[in-house]
Amino acid sequence: MAIFLLATLPAQANESRVCASQLQPEIEKIARSPKLQSARLGVFVQTSEPKPQILVNLDGDRYFIPASNLKLFTTAIALKTLGADYRFATRLMSRSSPNAKGEIENGLWIFGSGDPSFNSETGLKSLVTQLKNKGVKRISGGLWGLTSRKGAEISGSWEWQDLQEDYAAIASPFTINENVLNWTIRPTKIGNSTIFEWEHPQKASDWSVENNSITTTAESVLSNNKLPENNLKVVRPYGQKVLIISGQIPENSTPELGSVAIPNPEANFLHLLRQELTIQGIEISSTMDISRKLPPFQASRQAPNQDLAIAYSPPLSELITTTNKDSNNLYAELLLRALGDRFHEITPDDNVRGGMIAINKYLRSVNIATTNIFLADGSGLSRRNLVTPRAIAQLLQTVASDRSTNYHFRKSLAIGGVDGTLTNRFKNTSAQGLIQAKTGTLTGAIALSGYANPKKYSEVIFSIIINNSNMTTKETQQYVDAIAILFTRLESCS
């Protein structure tokens, strides 16, 4: 498909040499491609010099839906504001040390900070092991949740259909295992039900599954030279711990892998904590509750103030790599809330708004007009986010000129044809290994912004966004890639 598309684009897109003075005319030729006529294309390209030269401005000052390109703002500003060494901390706390019998009285408290990397296998197990090593044998008074994070855990402008999907997991301060459950569906004999399996059944012990899918005939080649269609459908009714599976899967197909977002991360966290305490031999009283306030029988002066166990996340410099290379929405949303927590005096009840204030404050400090960016979330999943391609390029230019952030930020971006969300793009082209960029994908909206390092020209900073496309995601990406390839073939031609 890529070969066919590039063959139908202007011939210059395939030539080895592109003069800098001709870059905009060549991109305009691609913009006139018939399938782009009903879409909107924005391109802004500049050099990365202290006083940059603008090479292309094709609707670069108009608003576009940036999709996951918005993560560039969240990660860059979190890196600058919080610092590369910033770590999330998850704590087990109590009002006092265990007594002589090894009992914690008046409850055990989990203090959640929204660590996006926290998981059962290392983080939770470590916390409970630390507790056990302190001689804890029994917990009375229940298990409680406490956090300083406040505000909405999902964006009000996310599409409700997305909320069951793993890419729209709830940004809870009590995040564990990315707030999703992984599953596998395998074909069996023709006419029989498929086999559904949870990756970790013990983590889904309170879920129910209605599996109505069946295995169908699988011929190696059909009359239209296509493999049999897999029309498997997996749905989680909103707010419920139920999976409904329907459709068909061919007999010879590979197992279908997927994930589902859990509806109540706090309850899930405490459920898994209780399991781990039991596994490690710590007895728990029958009372268990979740609250972001103190229990009714406790006064505020009796809040838990003693750390019994603590688990730290990897440094922020590593967390932004997962955010950008893998385009992880949950990581981005929790980074936005961590930013907002730094502004708790201004927005004490809304870390999301505080995070947006932090972003706008930074933009003003580096002379990027805040009128060129409208934020609705931290990940780009909302279609209410609006950004100009110029503003994205200006942000990338600012980061490139900042020694305190440039190295870690650059390292977080996917490399064309090498890793992350660009692993399978730009392979066997002049752009392979020469583009570091952030992808963005929503239905009808595709974006790519970052740095290109042509062999015979200085580094350029670019932002390419296509909105209102009625093509498939893959086909729209090919137009974006055809433009990006031109950057790696730049020469001055002077």
Residue-wise pLDDT for 445-459, tens only, equals 999 999 999 999 999
Q: Are residues 295 and 337 in the same domain?
A: no
Per-residue pLDDT at 478 exceeds 80: yes
Q: Which residue type is seen at 192?
A: N
Mean pLDDT of 37-64: 97
Mean pLDDT of 29-49: 97
Mean pLDDT of 368-385: 97
**Mean model confidence pLDDT for the chain:** 91
Note the pLDDT of residue 347: 78
Per-residue pLDDT at 385 exceeds 70: yes
Note the pLDDT of residue 343: 78
Strands 373-374 and 306-312: unpaired
Report phi then psi at 255, rounded to 5. Answer: -55, 145
**Token pair for 484:** 């990006």
Q: Are residues 265 and 142 in the same domain?
A: yes
Q: What is the rounded radius of gyration, in angstroms, for the C-alpha atoms of the chain?
A: 25
pLDDT tens track for 206-264: 999 999 999 998 653 344 455 445 688 999 998 899 999 999 999 988 999 999 999 99
Q: Are residues 354 and 246 in the same domain?
A: no
Q: For residue 109, give Cα distances in angstroms to 97, 112, 230, 298, 306.
A: 13, 9, 46, 13, 10
Mean pLDDT of 290-315: 70
Q: Are residues 308 and 324 in the same domain?
A: no
Note the pLDDT of residue 230: 63
Mean pLDDT of 137-162: 92
Per-residue pLDDT at 471 exceeds 70: yes
Closest CA to 468 of 174, 27, 59, 38: 38
pLDDT tier for residue 294 given thresholds of 50, 70 and 90: very low
Residue 46 near residue 393, CB atoms below 8 Å: yes
Instruction: Tell me which of 291, 313, 335 is where a domain ends.
Output: 313
Per-residue pLDDT at 316 exceeds 70: yes
Q: Are residues 297 and 323 in the same domain?
A: no
Per-residue pLDDT at 288 exceeds 80: no
Note the pLDDT of residue 292: 44
Instruction: Tell me which of 313, 344, 361 is where a domain ends.
Output: 313
Note the pLDDT of residue 261: 95
Closest CA to 147 of 113, 108, 107: 113
Q: Are residues 418 and 300 in the same domain?
A: no
Opening angle at CA 68, ends 66 and 71, nearest 5: 105
Count up the domains in the chain and report the number: 2
Q: Are residues 448 and 480 in the same domain?
A: yes
Instruction: Tell me which of 313, 336, 360 is where a domain ends.
Output: 313
Pairwise CA distance, residues 384 & 161, whole Å: 16
Q: Are residues 209 and 158 in the same domain?
A: yes
Per-residue pLDDT at 286 exceeds 80: no
pLDDT tier for residue 86 given thresholds of 50, 70 and 90: very high
pLDDT tier for residue 3 given thresholds of 50, 70 and 90: very low
Q: What is the crossing angle of helices 473-487 and 23-31, to 10°? A: 170
Mean pLDDT of 126-144: 95
Q: Are residues 234 and 354 in the same domain?
A: no
Note the pLDDT of residue 407: 97
Note the pLDDT of residue 349: 87
Note the pLDDT of residue 17: 87
Q: Are residues 156 and 304 in the same domain?
A: yes
* % of the chain with per-residue pLDDT over 90: 82
Query: pTM to 2 decimals?
Result: 0.92
Q: For residue 114, give Cα distances in angstroms to 91, 105, 165, 290, 377.
A: 11, 26, 19, 16, 16
Note the pLDDT of residue 296: 44
Q: Are residues 298 and 325 in the same domain?
A: no
Note the pLDDT of residue 96: 87
Note the pLDDT of residue 15: 56
Pairwise CA distance, residues 355 & 291, whole Å: 24
Q: For residue 282, give Cα distances in angstroms to 3, 9, 306, 311.
A: 61, 66, 19, 19
What is the strand order of the sheet 208-211 is part of? 208-211, 242-246, 233-235
Per-residue pLDDT at 421 exceeds 70: yes
Q: Are residues 73 and 96 in the same domain?
A: no
Q: What CATH number should be reported for the domain holding residue 7? A: 3.40.710.10
Mean pLDDT of 267-294: 80
Closest CA to 362 of 394, 388, 332: 394
Residue numbers of the domain that contains 442: 2-84+317-491
Range in 8-22, 76-90, 214-228 the model is least confident about: 214-228
